[in-house]
């Protein structure tokens, strides 16, 4: 499995939500913009190894699973490049 970090810049997000259709862990937040919720996917159970922090307009999530391709597709679909995905070493 791959450990990877996902960064979502809330200020850059414009609420088009193209990411939501590629990775169901991206959801609409109370502010009408995207955020990340590991428990939002009805098909896959969150493992409990995920971390999500929100600070200064940035959502940073770390995952250790085999779904990095879905997340990369969500980032590629974002028309304002608000999402970055990078693999991290253990």
Closest residue by Cα to residue 82 from 35, 22, 29: 35
pLDDT tens by residue, 4-36:
999 999 999 999 999 999 999 999 999 999 999
CA–CA distance, 10 with 51 (Å, rounded to integer): 17
Q: Kindly report the average pLDDT of the chain as a whole number.
A: 92
Identify the CATH number of the domain in which residue 75 sits: 3.30.70.20
Domain containing residue 23: 2-87
pLDDT exceeds cutoff 70 at 82: yes
Structural domain count, the chain: 1
90 falls in which pLDDT band (50, 70, 90)?
A: low
- Residue 63's Cβ-count burial label (10 Å; 0-12, 13-18, 19+) is buried
């Amino acid at each position: 499995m791959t450990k990877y970090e996902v960064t979502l810049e809330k200020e850059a997000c414009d609420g088009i939500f193209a990411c939501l259709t590629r990775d169901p862990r991206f959801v609409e937040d109370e502010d009408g913009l995207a955020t990340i919720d590991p428990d939002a996917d009805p098909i896959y159970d969150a493992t409990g190894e995920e971390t999500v922090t929100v600070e200064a307009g940035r959502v940073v999530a770390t995952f250790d699973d085999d779904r990095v391709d879905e997340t990369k597709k969500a980032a590629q679909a974002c028309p304002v490049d608000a999402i970055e995905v990078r693999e991290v070493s253990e």
